[in-house]
Amino acid sequence: MPLSSEQFDALFDDATRSVFRLETLPVYNPVSEAAPLKSYLAGDPCPRVGITTPYMSQVTEHVNQGVRRYRVHVVHSPLTDYLRYEMEWGYTFTSQAGEEILILDTAEHGRPEGLVDEDFWFFDDTHVVRMHYRDDGEILGKDLLEQPDLDHYRAQRDLAMAKAVPFNEYWSAHPQYHRD
């Protein structure tokens, strides 16, 4: 079932135990994020310093309510410019807000057998939203699966998490990707 932005937002609002995200692409939203990526690559200062975004506020509120917010991003190094930007100008700040971010670098740890190339959100282990993207990473839409195979999505989450490392550990171990 295709979801509107409002319906998608409601899933976050209604979550009581957990919100998990599996990301598998090397680039997301190249059109809508073109300007900040260009600024990042030009060496401009990060606009997020000292700013709390609505997403960060939501993460902090969830964590304070006992809702686990976590994600695994499956990457293959060397990192794309976009992934460097996402980590340095995104994950650095959302992890400080309380989101558990893990990186599974398949060049370093291999790809777990059976792990699919499928982006999804998993709310309270009961609601699955499949994300759809163009080949270039621009979002096409999102679908709430009406009768998801919950065991499959739990297994995908667990496979990705088994070899992933915490973002801060990954980022500290890879200074070659840092802009400065």
What confidence category does residue 32 fall into, taking pLDDT thresholds of 50, 70 and 90?
confident
Structure token pair of residue 16: 């009581």
Identify the CATH number of the domain defined by range 5-177: 3.30.870.10
DSSP assignment of 115-175: --S--EEEETTTEEEEEEE-TTS-EEEEEE-SS--HHHHHHHHHHHHHH-EEHHHHHHH-G
> Could you read off the pLDDT of 121-159 as tens digits, one per residue?
999 999 999 999 999 999 999 999 999 999 999 999 999
Domain boundaries, the chain: 5-177
User: Which residues neighbour 47 within 8 Å (Cβ) at sequence distance 6 or greater?
Assistant: 36, 39, 89
Read off the pTM: 0.94
